Structure 1
C-alpha cells in the first residue's frame, strides 16, 4: 500500500471536517478555512448559544446535502452549510435556548437544504445564485408561525428593535462607529461592535478587497439610513448596514467583475439595500416576521439580472 493510500482516508476526514468552517465563512461568500474559524470565534464572542446553534445548523445542512447526494464540490467549499448557519443563529435569537429550538433548527435546516436545491434549479436559467433566500423563506415561516405553538413560544416575547426603547433620529458619534462595526456583525445577528470587528478581521484574512468592500458598504448603509431619517439606535445597532455589506461583497468581484464602473454599481446596490430595509421591516412587522437578509437577496438578484444589458458591466468569472 502506498503512502498516498495510507493518507487518503485521513485527508478525506480532514476535508469533511473543514466543510464546517467553510460553511460558516460562506455566509459572507468566503470558503477560506481560517476566515470560517475566525467567524466561529466571533460567534462565541457574541455568545456561546450563537456559536453552538450556528454550528448545529451548518453541520445539519452539510450532512443533509451529503445524504441526499448533492455534488461534493459544492459541499466541500461550504455552499451547502451557510444557510443552515444563519437558520441556527436566527432561531436561537428569536426562540431562546431550549430543546424545542434544537429540534426546530434541525428540521428547519433540513427543509432549507431541500429548498436550496429547488431554488437553484428554478434560478439556473437566469444564472442567479440562491444566496440566502432559502434561509429567508424557511426562517420567515418559522418566525411567523411560532407564536401559534405553545411549546415553541412559551415564555417568549417579541424581539423589538433598539429604537423601541430609545427613539430619535439624531445620530451621535457613538451610533456612527458602533453602527459601522455592527453593520458587519449583523450579518450574523450580532450587535456588539467588537464582534463585528472580529468578523471584519476574518474577511481581511480571506481578501483585503472583500474586507474593504464590507467596510465601505457598512458605511454606505449607515449613511443612507441616516440621510433618510432612520432611528439612530437602529443605525447604531447595524440594522441598516448588514444587507448593504452582503450586497457590496456580492457585487464587488464575487459575482460581478471588479472594474471602476462595477465598483460604482456595487455602491449603488449597497445603498439600495439599505433604502429597502425599512420597507421590508414594516412589511414583516405586520405579520410577525423579520427583515433577515431579504433586502440583500432582492436587490442583488435585480442588479445581477440587469448586467447582460449593460455593456460596461460583466459577471465575474
Structure 2
C-alpha cells in the first residue's frame, strides 16, 4: 500500500510512501484517507484478479488508484458519501484500465505511467455536471477558473512557493509545506532522485515565467507539476541517469510545462484541469524518440512500469 503512494513519483520505498501519506494528512486528513484507501483498493483488486506478484508488491497497481481517489476528493467534495462511493468504484475500475493500458503500450515496450488514472479522471470530470448526486450545487471541477490573464511578474515568495507547490500539486495539494515534505520523501529514497525532482521543478518555474504565464498560475504549482514527473521519469527511471539524459529530461520538463495550458484549454468544458496528461504525452514521446538517439539509453524491452529500486534504495 505505501509503495503505491511512493510509486506516484517512481519510488519503490515503503518509508517514502509513509512520508507521502504524512504529507497528505498534513494538508487534509481526508486527502490522506482517500489516498491510502485508493492505494489499498487498487492493490487489493489487482491481487484478487491475479496480477503478477512483482507488480502488486512493488506498488505498481496502487499509484493510479491513489491519484484517482485524491483527485475525486479534491474536486468533488471529500466529505460527501457519493464522492466516497464513486472514488471506491473508480479505484476498482482503474485496475482493469491499467491492465488494458499495460497490454496495449507493452506492444511498444512503453510504460503505462498515469494514463489509466488520466483516462478515468477525464471521464468523470466530463460526466460530473450531468450527475446531480455527484454535483448537486454546481460546484466542483468546472468551478475552477483557469484564466489566461493576470500579472506575470514573480516575487521571491512566488518563486519559492512555486518550487515546492510544483511537487505538492502532483497530489493536488496547494500547501507549499506539503510539497516540502513530499520532496523530503523523495530525498529519503535517493539523493539523485531528489536532485532531479528539484531540477524539474526549477525548470517548470523558469519555463512558465519565460513564456509569460500568469504569476498566480506559476505560484500555485499547476504550471510546473508535470515538469517534476517528466524530469524524474526521463533521468533515472526509464533512461539511465547521465549528464546527457539529464539535459534531455529537462528539455522534456520544459515541453510538459508548455503543453499544460494547451491540454487545459482542450479540457476547458470540464473545468480545464490537465491532470497529468502533459506528463504522459511528453514522457511517452521522449521515450519513443530516445531509441533513435545513440547517446540516450532507451527503455529496456518489455518494461511496463518503473523498475523497483532504480533511483531509490531497496524496499524497506
TM-score scaled by length of structure 1: 0.91
Distance in 1 of aligned mates of 2:145 and 2:272: 17
Within 5 Å, which residues of 2 pair with 1:1-317? Answer: 20-96=1-77, 97-159=79-141, 167-288=150-271, 290-315=273-298
Q: Shift of the alpha carbon at 1:161? A: 5.2
State how far apart, in whole Å, the 2-side matches of 1:140 and 1:31 are.
Answer: 27
Q: Which has the larger Rg?
A: 1
User: In 1, distance between residues paired with 2:165 and 2:145?
Assistant: 13
Deviation at 1:70, TM superposition (A): 0.4
Distance 1:156 1:63, change over 3 A: farther
Structure number having the greater helix percentage: 1
Q: Indicate the SS of the match to 2:124.
A: helix
Give the Å deviation of 1:287.
3.9
Deviation, 1:154, is: 1.1
> In structure 2, what is the equivalent of residue 4 of structure 1?
none
Counterparts of 2:65 and 2:10 in 1: how far apart (Å)? 14
CA distance in 2, matches of 1:128, 1:156: 39
Kept in 1: contact 2:244–2:295 (CA 8 A): yes
DSSP-derived class of the 2:36 partner = helix
Deviates more, 1:197-206 or 1:284-293: 284-293
**Residues 1:286 and 1:165: Cα distance change in structure 2 (over 3 Å):** closer
Structure number with greater CO (CA < 8 Å, separation at least 6) is 2
Once residues 73 and 160 of structure 2 are traced to their aligned partners in structure 1, the CA distance between those partners, rounded to angstroms, is 27
Aligned length: 298
Flag structure 1 segments of 5+ consecutive residues without an equivalent: 1-19
TM-score normalised per structure 2: 0.91
Partner of 2:306: none
**CA displacement 1:64-116 (0-9 Å, x = unmatched):** 10111101110001000000110011001110021111110111111111010
Structure 2: give runs of 5+ residues left out of the alignment. 301-316
**Alpha-carbon distance between aligned partners in 1 of 2:214 and 2:144, rounded to the nearest angstrom:** 10
